[in-house]
Amino acid sequence: RPGFRFWNPAEAGRLIERQLGVLTEIDAALSECEKVVRAGTAPLDYWTRWGAEQAGEVRLRIERARVIYHELHRTLERERSLRAS
């Protein structure tokens, strides 16, 4: 229909929530990298060091992605109400 996104409204909410969960998991992994680096008790491999060094920039990108997913969720809710009327 004109004015509606090309998506399956029955599945879109679940997919948006799943992606928000992935962003939360990435943030938790970055926190773990930072913790390991701060503690200095484990040998640093490339991935742990990189995660800790890049955590700030990655978190900015995570926040931008969250904003987009929340906007998509609002669009989905608006479309659901329009479809129901």
* Interval 5-41: pLDDT, tens: 888 888 999 999 999 999 999 999 999 999 999 998 8
pTM for the full predicted model: 0.84
CA distance 45 to 60: 24
Query: Rounded to 5 degrees, what angle do the CA atoms 60, 61, 65 make?
Result: 120
CA distance 25 to 12: 20
Q: First-to-last CA distance in the chain?
A: 14
Which pLDDT does position 1 carry in this prediction?
A: 66
* Interval 43-73: pLDDT, tens: 778 778 899 999 999 999 999 999 999 999 9
Closest CA to 54 of 33, 23, 83, 82: 33
